[in-house]
Each structure stands twice: as C-alpha cells, then as structure tokens.
Amino acid sequence: MPLVLQRTSAGGLLPAVAEVAPGSMALSLASLRIVVGFVFIVGGAYAATHLGAIARDFDAWHIPQSGVAVPALAATAIVCGALLTLGALTRPVALLLATIAIGALVTAGRYSGGLYLVVPPALFAACILLAWSSGRLRGAAPPRPPGVQ
C-alpha cells in the first residue's frame, strides 16, 4: 500500500490518516478491554493467593501497612478487572486501574526494576486509552449551542 501524503494548512505534507471502519475500532477496544481486565484479574488473584510473599515485597518497596494493602489491592484488582472485562463502568474503573499501574511503577519499578518498568506503563497507557475512548458518558450532557463556552 503506497504512502499517501496530504497538504496541511501551513503548506507542509503529512501522511494521510487511514480510515478505520467503526466496527473494527470497537472490536479492537473491546479486545483490549478484555485483555487488560484479565491481566488485572490474574494479578489480583495471584496477590490474593500469595499474601505472605507479596506482603514481603511490599515491605521491601517501603509500602506501609502491607498486611492491609495487599488484600485491598488484590480485591480492587480482581473486582475492577472483572468490571473492565464485562465493560461495566469502563471509564472510572480504567482510571482507577491506571492509578494502580502508576503506583506499581513508582514503588516496584523503582526498587525492583525489570518487568515492573515495562508492564505498568503499558497497562497505564491501555487504561488511559480505554477511559478516553469510553462512550459511557458521551451524550450525558445536552449539546451546547455554538458560541457558548
């Protein structure tokens, strides 16, 4: 497929944006939503079944009250992952999971490195994309007439 360029208003050239069929975009976002939700469900289930080991990791990462934080994080990841997989409350759930991903990057990534420097930013980006593209709240407010700020 040849590269198609189009003129900008400033006279420059940019690659033309390919048209994407709306159905394929919806299918892609649904697939991403299911995969990300499943990753959080699996991670939460692992944390719930290995409380002692994860609590020791939390202590090494200087997270206070690890005995309380681990079960709370595991339950949050499982419940929110399930809601995301089902497509319920996508925007708020994706934003909550994005904060969990940033927390993992800042704590585990800083002290342990490795995959903690790769997986959380990818999950954060996916969650932000899902929250941004979520149509759940679109159309909730009445359209404004032109010129009204």
Each residue of 104-119: pLDDT tens digit? 888 888 777 777 788 8
Residue 78: what pLDDT?
Answer: 96
Residue 7: what pLDDT?
Answer: 62
Residue 137: what pLDDT?
Answer: 46
Assessment of whether the complete model's pTM goes beyond 0.75: no
Using the predicted structure, report yes or no on whether residue 28 has a pLDDT greater than 70: yes
- Buried/exposed code over 109-131 (b: 16+ C-beta within 10 A; e: otherwise): beeeeeebeebbeebbebbebbb
Mean pLDDT of 13-36: 74
